[in-house]
Amino acid sequence: MTFDSVDELHKIKTISPDAQVVLRIVTDDSGSVCQLSNKFGASLCDVPQLLDTAKELGLDCVGTSFHVGSGSSDLNAFKEPLTHAAWVFEQAKSRGIEMSLLDIGGGFPGDDAGEVSFEQIAQQINPLLDNLFPKEVNVIAEPGRFFSHSCGTIATKVIARRFVTEQAKKDSGAGANAPDIYYYIGDGTYGSFNCMIADHYTPEEVECLTDSKKMVTSRVFGPTCDGFDTIYDSK
């Protein structure tokens, strides 16, 4: 299990003294869709104290970990944390702690539409691993978004619609910018589309399964009474 504080080490010692522990360090994840380092990860200045405490408590500190944030768009995101992780290995070795595990976290894109690809990131990571860590170090990752980003398609019914008259557009003050039709579907941001809020995801364009080919501007809402439950707003 991971730790990033002295309190967590004492808790682990009390509850599971035979556990293998991994020191998580903070990273610069400002280029990611979902930032994690504002919540997890020890600062480098705290690493010596954490390693000393783990050794004093007799805990088996087997490695270090970091996470550059979910959905990273920075091609160089892994360079600095890998260098920092190698420094942690050195600090541990100087204290008689032999680390053998490196967890490089996730952050890998799940499609090829972004600014960087998985292949580009791999081309940066692999040489750094070869240069910074001995071959016997076991390297693992957490590629959640990489596997789940494009794993499914949602099919949902249109449960209601409302045509917006020209006069209603004028009365709303939106004028020509107002949509022609409001659609209400059976799923929304409080259901399957919660990724729009939690993961800052923009859903792909909707595919209509009817034969109609006429295109008009529209706004698509989820089924709740909350106006925040908006999924699409065509321009």
- pLDDT, one tens digit per residue, over 224-234 is 999 999 998 87
Q: Which pLDDT belongs to residue 214?
A: 78
Whether pLDDT at 125 is above 70 = yes
Average pLDDT over residues 79-100: 96
Q: Are both 167 and 108 inside the same structural domain? A: no
Query: What is the average pLDDT score of the chain?
Result: 88
Q: How far apart are CA 231 and CA 119, in angstroms?
A: 31
How many Cβ atoms from other residues are within 10 Å of residue 133's Cβ? Answer: 17
Q: Which pLDDT belongs to residue 24?
A: 96
Q: Are both 65 and 116 inside the same structural domain? A: yes
Provide the whole-model pTM.
0.79
Structural domain range at position 198: 158-233
Residues annotated as catalytic are: 225
Q: Are both 165 and 129 inside the same structural domain? A: no
Residue given tokens 């596997």 in the structure block: 147
pLDDT band at 96 (very low <50, low <70, confident <90, very high): very high
pLDDT in tens, 138-189: 999 988 878 877 777 889 999 999 998 888 888 777 777 788 899 999 999 9
Q: Which pLDDT belongs to residue 113?
A: 64
Q: Which pLDDT belongs to residue 200?
A: 75
How many Cβ atoms from other residues are within 10 Å of residue 42's Cβ? Answer: 22
Q: Which pLDDT belongs to residue 126?
A: 94
**What count of Cα atoms within 13 Å lies in the side-chain half-sphere of residue 96?**
6
Q: 99, 118, 148 — which closes off a domain?
A: 148
Neighbour-count burial for 66-86, b at 16+ CB within 10 Å, e otherwise = bbbbbbbebeebbeebbebbb
- Residue 166, φ and ψ in degrees, nearest 5: -60, -40
Kindly state whether residue 153 falls inside one of the protein's structural domains: no
Whether pLDDT at 114 is above 70 = no
Domains: count for the chain? 2
Q: Are both 57 and 14 inside the same structural domain? A: yes
pLDDT band at 112 (very low <50, low <70, confident <90, very high): low
Whether pLDDT at 129 is above 90 = yes
